[in-house]
Structure 1
């Protein structure tokens, strides 16, 4: 399931580029608000979210300066009730803080999900990252040119599938083909996100995926790669190759 969230801000509002942790906080605060008001346990679910989409903006002093009042944001999760809780929480709050920036919540709507084929093309709505433990308790981020980048994405989707369904998919085959022409055109295809003081490297690159429709669907709803709940790995359909 996928949620489109709409905010209103004043023209000229300045937004720092490193806002991922603020968006994570908005999700946490929204679910906490519902849990507090209804005396229910705070819901937990696999989820991911996109970067912010401003209808018009300029860049000044390392910040985005909004040229309009409209901001869109997308949240995705295989759990429909989790998204409903976020909408309830945002409705209760009315306003949210993106760091020091005040945004007014105006509306949200559930989007129809696409039909999934065994071969599809996606573009990124937030960077895809693959992390693994390195020495000294640090994390090391895999290069998209590395031998195991695609395989690690596949293994991660199998793990997510098992968490959701308590079983393994019938078809575990999946191959990734990242757009080499796009990478050649971009001088810096990677993105380095400062997540509340922690640097996370990811990639915003179109790609084709072939194989298990079950795993492709999990990637669409829960995110591809790691750190999805920090705003990594969200994609949208570029076109259905067999549609």
Structure 2
């Protein structure tokens, strides 16, 4: 299930580049508003979300972040669990506000959006960077290690969700890559904004599409969308 959360802020405010950790905290708070114990097991935390995006990219880059030239922003959330998504919606309807990146936002609209149909051969682009600390994009073995780490994590998630081992794999072809440093709770992580092809198990690719690729997806890493094919 995939959700779009629309936000309202005052023009001229500055959104800190490293806002995902605070957004993760607010998402957890919203989900737990209805049921404080809902995130107690690992399967329930297999979700992901995007960075906060500015409508029509109406912002100016400055030293401390993005200066808003519009009042309209949004982010996306995705989970394999309808229960988690329903709890997020109910929580934000009740709370009506969230604080992230130095801005107090009004939650102006929440809508369920259509998920893309996933096949065993997809071109994907990140909506939030993939956490992969061992390599930078320039390393000669980046693609090999990237495939190894992501496939291992997808199989781990399959086991958590379905309670059985999975005999299959996914191969990744990196088309574009930019390494970025993301601060999470005072600690910096190397992550990557990417366009890549995923080929192999439809089930594993679907798990990545719905719950995020890589680790720490519940902290705002690894959300993707299908790229337009030209």
TM-score when normalising by structure 1: 0.85
Which consecutive unaligned segments of at least 5 residues does structure 1 have?
132-140, 184-188
Alpha-carbon offset, residue 99 of structure 1: 4.8
Q: Say which of 60, 64, 71 aligns to 1:58.
A: 60
Q: Is the radius of gyration larger for structure 1 or structure 2?
A: 1
Give yes or no for the alignment of 1:177 onto 2:173.
yes
Alpha-carbon offset, residue 45 of structure 1: 2.8
Q: Hey, what's the Cα distance between the residues in 2 that align with 1:175 and 1:167? A: 21
Give yes or no for the alignment of 1:163 onto 2:154.
no
Partner of 2:209: 220
Partner of 1:95: 97
- Counterparts of 1:204-215 in structure 2, within 5 Å, are 204-215=193-204
Alpha-carbon offset, residue 195 of structure 1: 1.1
Alpha-carbon offset, residue 110 of structure 1: 1.2
Alpha-carbon offset, residue 80 of structure 1: 1.0
Stretches of 4+ moved more than 4 A in 1? none
Q: How many residues align?
A: 220
> Could you tell me whether the CA contact under 8 Å between 1:46 and 1:78 is conserved in 2?
yes
Which consecutive unaligned segments of at least 5 residues does structure 2 have?
none
Classify the secondary structure of the residue corresponding to 1:86: helix
Partner of 1:201: 190
Q: Say which of 142, 145, 152 aligns to 2:135.
A: 142
Q: Hey, what's the Cα distance between the residues in 2 that align with 1:23 and 1:97? A: 7
TM-score when normalising by structure 2: 0.90
Partner of 1:136: none
Aligned-pair RMSD on alpha carbons?
A: 1.7
